[in-house]
Amino acid sequence: MGTDQGKDEARHRVWDLLEQENVVRERGVHGHIPDFIGSERATELLTSLPAWGSAQVIKANPDRAQLPVRTRALREGKLVYMAVPRLADEHPFYELDPGRLPVEAAMSKTAEAVAPKVMPSQMRPVDLILCGTVAVNHQGARLGKGAGYSDIEFALAQEAGLVGPDTIIVTTVHDLQVVDEHLPEDEHDFRVDVIVTPTEIIRCGPSHRPSALFWDHLDSKRIASIPFLAKHARTRCQHAASEGI
């Protein structure tokens, strides 16, 4: 079985289980980061972590499941960089400054209307990364919805020097999303350091973190669909041409 097929099968097992057990707020969860029941309780547990208390800058995904975390961060005066959905802008992150924006900016639609967009080069170093997840195991291997945006976001932050060895990577999920099985991984995948469910905090082992964006893992269609990458790719080509590569 190939890695992609193994990932898809694991995702579908979890999506099916979540709907079967009625632990998501809306059905039709397939293809999405699950908006799980209990996300508010998971947020409360997350905010009990010392890493949360010391974090001043957070990079977050835009999915509804993590809305309580983003809202809490803004209420506590933390600066939040939230990915533009599908990274569909040359400035791929919203800058959610609690000193300038209402807490409602934690919602993706509100952020689109009121928040400035920034490039990685305009961002401050990140203390904590929050990501959405479909399935995750106790070793920290995770699967997103299959679009690869979280991996690209992480790689962009890594290349920009925004992520250091002390940057904590956290995900909030329902207990049923934590699986006791091997999850297929690719070289560009990152692992999480901490899993927070409505009932427990799970600390994972040493995390795998790619050091840069793997351009050879991206086809031309994917690069063209993400404006920041398309612009970056053109710059790379121009540089290579000028160097005679």
Query: What confidence category does residue 236 fall into, taking pLDDT thresholds of 50, 70 and 90?
Result: low
Per-residue pLDDT at 165 = 87
Sign of torsion over alpha carbons 99, 118, 136, 19 = positive
Burial 51-69 (b: 16+ CB within 10 A, else e): ebeebebbbbbbbbbbbbb
Per-domain boundaries in the chain:
3-217
Contact 154, 188 (CB under 8 A): no
Mean pLDDT for the chain overall? 94
pLDDT of 10 strictly over 90 = yes
Contact 42, 172 (CB under 8 A): yes
- Of 75, 85, 125, 149, which is closest to residue 105 (Cα–Cα)? 75
Per-residue pLDDT at 237 = 63
Least confident residue range of 128-137, 159-168, 180-189, 207-216: 207-216
**Which pTM was predicted?**
0.93
pLDDT of 84 strictly over 70 = yes
Percent of the chain with pLDDT over 90: 87
Per-residue pLDDT at 234 = 82
Dump pLDDT digits (tens) for 13-32: 999 999 999 999 998 999 99
The distance between the two most distant Cα atoms of the chain, rounded to a whole number of Å, is 59
For 3-217, CATH number?
3.40.50.10420
Sign of torsion over alpha carbons 224, 230, 236, 238 = positive
Query: What confidence category does residue 207 fall into, taking pLDDT thresholds of 50, 70 and 90?
Result: confident
pLDDT of 120 strictly over 60 = yes
Dump pLDDT digits (tens) for 141-176: 999 999 999 999 999 999 999 999 889 999 999 999
Per-residue pLDDT at 203 = 98
Per-residue pLDDT at 242 = 62
Q: What is the mean pLDDT of residues 88-117?
A: 98
